[in-house]
Structure 1
């Protein structure tokens, strides 16, 4: 009878990142987008959250593809800086040239993160962006809301992702 292999070693996580360790790894799934100024669309997405145990920061990246053709659509990357008091700062650079500085809160028990833009830079039309992430039945669900110089804050993107 073969011996049971030992469990994989636990990866060290910085104490500030520990409450959000559930995010670490690669997530894939599908989403949908809409806004008054564009036609509705569906997309595939891959999110990656990675971490170096010596730094109190999570590296973040997102790539999306058209669901129908697989053609690349959007990408963005940045850093999430959780604080031990339940607050978080996020910096994101989008492939469109738009940059976001967001501030918000996380709830480790509910496994949720809520972000609101503190600054939206290099954007002639986008004025405000909110992002909400939540674990629901083992899946990562998010909603992105956006306001422009012509529209009030409303849902732009929503997706459901599974850890791979």
Structure 2
């Protein structure tokens, strides 16, 4: 413990180092839509945490209706960055849908690109792609989705600030 009575943060695992800028809590607003649903806006919080001794980042996300604060969607999982710039991500959604994604990260440009390898337990969704970017200290993302009736197209986007 340090003099303030709190433990210092554990050192970041070398594999996580290139994505350490993500660690912490991010909050902001997003908007969504799809050909089969009405457009909507939402509040959102993302958390990226790291235990220090493993090459993994724990991820959690929750959204809520802006007008009432009523919970909407949540998901959690793990991000496993590799030293070669690739990344593996698993996400379990509150809807029961499970994603296994693979992709790449560019530590210099602060961009993570993910593409689903598997979307399980989904009756309609067959593919999901996610792109996260840090620009001027704000984290933005775009989620694209394909169903059995539609090709891959934008579904969600948000802009978040670190708390």
For the superposition of Structure 1 and Structure 2, which TM-score range results when normalised by the shorter chain?
A: over 0.9
Tell me what 1:45 maps to.
Answer: 44
Cα distance between partner residues in 2 of 1:81 and 1:137: 25
Tell me what 1:122 maps to.
Answer: 121
Equivalent residue of 1:55, what SS? Answer: coil
Q: How does 1:84-95 map to 2 (within 5 A)?
A: 84-95=83-94
Q: How does 1:1-164 map to 2 (within 5 A)?
A: 11-164=10-163
Q: Deviations over 1:32-80 (max 9, x none)?
A: 0000010000000000000011100000000000112111000000000
8 Å Cα contact 2:10-2:51 kept in structure 1: no
For structure 2, the residue ranges without an aligned partner over 5 or more in a row are 1-6
Equivalent residue of 2:54, what SS? Answer: coil
For structure 1, the residue ranges without an aligned partner over 5 or more in a row are 1-7
Count how many residue pairs are aligned between Structure 1 and Structure 2: 158
Cα distance between partner residues in 1 of 2:93 and 2:82: 24
Cα distance between partner residues in 1 of 2:74 and 2:157: 15
Structure 1's consecutive aligned runs of 4 or more residues displaced over 4 angstroms after TM superposition are 8-11
TM-score by length of 2: 0.94
Q: Deviations over 1:130-161 (max 9, x none)?
A: 00000011000000000000111000000000
8 Å Cα contact 2:145-2:153 kept in structure 1: yes
TM-score by length of 1: 0.94
Cα distance between partner residues in 2 of 1:123 and 1:154: 17
